[in-house]
Chain A
């Protein structure tokens, strides 16, 4: 019975991965800061570190300003009104027409590009609106011939535009295998193990050579890249521990099994103290908040937080494709472990 249940989970999770991939491609905005650690097509690629940074100042991914919120012509976004990640220029790139300087580099009024004009190198834009589609140039009255200004005098070549300031920072880093092993155990309450010769051994210690942990004899540098191989085994780990966690908690809640033992901190069942299929929308929302902290250390700022919306979507989709009430929780658990916010910091 348990094996059948496991197989059902696996099939379902495969479906979920595919749907999550499709969804993230459709709905998730560009995950700019995570891009280097984001597996292509990995489950749950929507949330972005940018939302961490200066929470409350920069709109988070998914919080695209509505039409009413878009800066209007003549308005200059302040540093706290930095445009969304999808509009952010990549560091090192010179913003071109239609692009927006990064926060802190808000051009002054005198530096605004002329509407409809693309500033070229050596030119200082002198008017315009940032982050707004270029408006159609309004037909201007024909100037009298005596007032004609030679075209080359419109642009004022003063100096090269200042390069974008790259503030001192560190890159996102993948957890090393020791950290990952403990993080899985802490978050799920179970270590990822396998049985070898009758003994339970930690799978990540078995895989340490394969996954680039140095032995300081043949290999002296630790490979911390989120390689395809790493992601494959992380996926294996997530599916293994999440399914086992849910089975243990279900058995414990139904009184059929022993009280659940936690090898790490007791965060409780994924769905909390209630019954998995009988949670109200508010309770589900609260559990998603709790899981975001538990797995990613993200403190949702509001229900409109893009991350919350993403996980809510995953929960609802999982509920839709399976009648088993625990399935959405398994899906959330797996997706959260395989998300870059879990395995990197």
Chain B
């Protein structure tokens, strides 16, 4: 595995440079820090210092000119076809073929392909294959209203026992109300069943549906004064006006597909012309359409299967869109804690543990999947097996010594959810959680969910009352939790591992094959050009599609 070795005299300067950067917003700053290791050398980590292969700027790769004939290369028209398919996803036009017939594949033609509006879509498609950003198999809400088939009334299964005594639907007849407006019920086999009312649901207001009267209640507050939007087993609360607080299978499907599209829009925006590749990991924006705005505004507080609160977004800043505005997309600015795709809800829900998140990043952007060595892991003695710190436990530490600190970059993003633990509300150690953990008093839900309140071994005792992300965290890794995934990206850019891996993955995408040993110097040079060129992803693509490897097909 290749990486950049930072020479000792520059380490301090480099660290200072990193620390001086409170934001990654400027890729120019990045360039400065990455240029520092112009005194860096790509090295093979497993080999001694003497065998370090150096790539000086003078040896930097330059792709062959398009006019330069290559032995056994594609004909110009077939080369154009390949370029068009890879960069635009479609065949060339007749006029483009005619142009190539006249003057071959020119620099201008390749430049026009590299600036085409379709290129970001193709890059996004490639990055979906790296990030696996699909969540079609997830169902977010437990507060789902559904029918029993046919034209029967919609009802909520999880609330039914609070309304009717058992998990049964209401009667398929119009509801009746007494003089005070209270819902009247009929006793059927011991269950108190009400009738239905007609409601225009928010997902399809033009087609009213039957809804059980209890579920259709519109009151904002319960009989005890609590917000009905946060309750789901309260007899005096329902789904609100137009069923606003409840999800349906149809609305969930729309929200899921909207989230995926939001993820892809963020990537496409990051790859638009003139942007740095690092925007993919630095962007503090979320694309929101009508369904997402409705979901984030009205349904996060309800009974969710995943942790959506504390919400990672300022709900009051969301645009005022109707659920039906599916094709209206508005970028919303997020806090500085966000790190582009790495903290997008789709990535967090697709990879629900911090280890899984780190593992995907290492695999996709560092080309370093966590794998056991050939021959398996060493057999541990009994004492080391009992060590709860995986960074130390024999066998486990082979991966976890690196994986645990890497995963801690997501320490403030809850697992099995997208919620963000703000440092102000969730400090590293919280007095009430520490007290309840030490004294055995009842702990709040926040303490139980996010802090260590029970020690199962002596080694855990010192961490009682600490935020989960800080448990077994070494001093030098505590910064990981505070700075988040952007620090991980920053440090891997500095080590040159990420630019090199990005070059490798891009080359594999465009060449359609895994790279071989003899390709390694070429990829090293591509990675170096990529980082020195300001992380211009189009330039990287340009280098690859002009190369003889791309132009020669077997």
What is A's interface to B at a CB cutoff of 8 Å? 33, 49, 51-55, 79, 91, 103-104, 167-173, 175, 178-179, 182-183, 186-187, 214-217, 220-222, 224, 265, 267, 293-294, 296-299, 345
Partner of B552, one of A167, A215, A298: A167
Q: List the B side residues contacting A167 at CB < 8 Å.
A: 71-72, 548, 552
Q: List the B side residues contacting A215 at CB < 8 Å.
A: 134, 136
CB-CB contacts below 8 Å: B75-133 with A? 75-78, 80-82, 85, 89-94, 97, 100-101, 125, 128-129, 132-133
Among B54-62, B267-275, B512-520, which stretch is in contact with chain A? B512-520
Contact B89 A345 (CB under 8 A): no
CB distance from A295 to the nearest CB of B (A): 9
Kindly list 12 other residue pairs between chains A and B, CB separation below 8 angstroms, not including A54-B71, A54-B72, A265-B93: A52-B75, A52-B78, A53-B74, A79-B71, A169-B549, A169-B553, A170-B510, A170-B549, A182-B90, A216-B129, A224-B512, A293-B77
CB distance from A232 to the nearest CB of B (A): 23
Q: List the A side residues contacting B522 at CB < 8 Å.
A: 168
CB distance from A300 to the nearest CB of B (A): 10
Q: How many residues of B contact A (CB 8 A)?
A: 44
Closest residue of A by beta carbon distance from B97: A293
Q: List the A side residues contacting B12 at CB < 8 Å.
A: none
Q: List the B side residues contacting A216 at CB < 8 Å.
A: 128-129, 132-134, 350
Contact B137 A217 (CB under 8 A): yes
Contact A170 B550 (CB under 8 A): yes
What is B's interface to A at a CB cutoff of 8 Å? 71-78, 80-82, 85, 89-94, 97, 100-101, 125, 128-129, 132-134, 136-137, 350, 510-513, 518-519, 522, 547-550, 552-554
Contact B554 A169 (CB under 8 A): yes
Partner of B94, one of A182, A265, A299: A265
Q: List the B side residues contacting A265 at CB < 8 Å.
A: 93-94
Shortest beta-carbon contacts, A-B, top 7: A297-B81, A216-B132, A173-B512, A169-B552, A52-B75, A170-B511, A216-B134
Q: A168-B518, A171-B553, A182-B91 are in contact. Are A299 and B85 (CB under 8 A)?
A: no
- In the assembly, what is the distance between CA of A175 and CA of B518, in Å? 27
Closest residue of B by beta carbon distance from A292: B77
Contact A170 B553 (CB under 8 A): yes
Q: List the A side residues contacting B97 at CB < 8 Å.
A: 293, 297, 299
Write 9 A-B pairs (CB below 8 A) sorted by A numbering: A52-B75, A53-B553, A103-B71, A215-B134, A216-B134, A299-B76, A299-B100, A345-B78, A345-B553
Contact A214 B129 (CB under 8 A): yes
Q: List the A side residues contacting B554 at CB < 8 Å.
A: 33, 49, 91, 169-172
Contact B78 A171 (CB under 8 A): no
Q: List the A side residues contacting B133 at CB < 8 Å.
A: 216
- In the assembly, what is the distance between CA of A34 and CA of B78, in Å? 14
- In the assembly, what is the distance between CA of A173 and CA of B92, in Å? 17
CB distance from B40 to the nearest CB of A (A): 26
- In the assembly, what is the distance between CA of A172 and CA of B75, in Å? 14
Which among B74, B76, B128, B549 has the highest number of chain A CB atoms within 10 Å? B74
Closest residue of A by beta carbon distance from B522: A168
Closest residue of A by beta carbon distance from B82: A345
Closest residue of A by beta carbon distance from B138: A217
- In the assembly, what is the distance between CA of A116 and CA of B323, in Å? 83
Contact A183 B91 (CB under 8 A): yes
Contact B512 A170 (CB under 8 A): yes
Which among B82, B128, B133 has the highest number of chain A CB atoms within 10 Å? B82
- In the assembly, what is the distance between CA of A178 and CA of B92, in Å? 15
Q: List the A side residues contacting B91 at CB < 8 Å.
A: 182-183, 186-187, 297
Q: List the B side residues contacting A186 at CB < 8 Å.
A: 90-91
Which among A33, A49, A169, A173 has the highest number of chain B CB atoms within 10 Å? A169
Partner of B553, one of A49, A178, A297: A49
Q: List the B side residues contacting A182 at CB < 8 Å.
A: 89-91
Contact A168 B94 (CB under 8 A): no
- In the assembly, what is the distance between CA of A4 and CA of B114, in Å? 48
Q: List the A side residues contacting B552 at CB < 8 Å.
A: 53, 167-170
Q: List the A side residues contacting B548 at CB < 8 Å.
A: 167-169
Q: A167-B72, A178-B89, A186-B91 are in contact. Are A297 and B80 (CB under 8 A)?
A: yes
- In the assembly, what is the distance between CA of A215 and CA of B74, in Å? 33
Contact A171 B512 (CB under 8 A): yes
- In the assembly, what is the distance between CA of A224 and CA of B512, in Å? 10
- In the assembly, what is the distance between CA of A175 and CA of B510, in Å? 12
Closest residue of A by beta carbon distance from B72: A53
- In the assembly, what is the distance between CA of A128 and CA of B61, in Å? 41
CB distance from A222 to the nearest CB of B (A): 7
- In the assembly, what is the distance between CA of A65 and CA of B89, in Å? 39
Q: List the B side residues contacting A103 at CB < 8 Å.
A: 71-72
Q: A167-B552, A168-B519, A171-B553 are in contact. Are A55 and B136 (CB under 8 A)?
A: no
- In the assembly, what is the distance between CA of A344 and CA of B100, in Å? 20
Q: List the B side residues contacting A49 at CB < 8 Å.
A: 74, 78, 553-554
- In the assembly, what is the distance between CA of A345 and CA of B519, in Å? 21
Q: List the A side residues contacting B93 at CB < 8 Å.
A: 265
- In the assembly, what is the distance between CA of A144 and CA of B429, in Å? 105
Q: List the B side residues contacting A267 at CB < 8 Å.
A: 94
- In the assembly, what is the distance between CA of A104 and CA of B69, in Å? 14
Q: List the B side residues contacting A296 at CB < 8 Å.
A: 81
Q: A179-B89, A183-B90, A216-B132 are in contact. Are A172 and B553 (CB under 8 A)?
A: yes
Closest residue of A by beta carbon distance from B549: A168
Q: List the A side residues contacting B75 at CB < 8 Å.
A: 51-53, 55, 298-299
Contact A298 B553 (CB under 8 A): no
Partner of B90, one of A54, A171, A179: A179
CB distance from B126 to the nearest CB of A (A): 10
Q: A216-B133, A217-B136 are in contact. Are A179 and B85 (CB under 8 A)?
A: yes
Q: List the B side residues contacting A187 at CB < 8 Å.
A: 91
Closest residue of A by beta carbon distance from B69: A54
- In the assembly, what is the distance between CA of A233 and CA of B91, in Å? 20
Partner of A175, one of B74, B85, B553: B85
Q: A167-B552, A168-B552 are in contact. Are A297 and B78 (CB under 8 A)?
A: yes
CB distance from B541 to the nearest CB of A (A): 14
CB distance from A268 to the nearest CB of B (A): 10
Q: List the B side residues contacting A104 at CB < 8 Å.
A: 71
Q: List the B side residues contacting A178 at CB < 8 Å.
A: 89, 125
CB distance from A75 to the nearest CB of B (A): 22
- In the assembly, what is the distance between CA of A53 and CA of B81, in Å? 14
Q: List the A side residues contacting B137 at CB < 8 Å.
A: 217
Contact B513 A171 (CB under 8 A): yes
Q: List the B side residues contacting A172 at CB < 8 Å.
A: 553-554
- In the assembly, what is the distance between CA of A214 and CA of B133, in Å? 11
- In the assembly, what is the distance between CA of A16 and CA of B413, in Å? 62
Q: List the A side residues contacting B547 at CB < 8 Å.
A: 168
Which among B75, B81, B134 has the highest number of chain A CB atoms within 10 Å? B75
Closest residue of A by beta carbon distance from B513: A171
- In the assembly, what is the distance between CA of A294 and CA of B74, in Å? 17
CB distance from B294 to the nearest CB of A (A): 25
CB distance from B275 to the nearest CB of A (A): 24
CB distance from A149 to the nearest CB of B (A): 41
- In the assembly, what is the distance between CA of A178 and CA of B118, in Å? 13
Contact B134 A217 (CB under 8 A): yes
CB distance from A168 to the nearest CB of B (A): 4
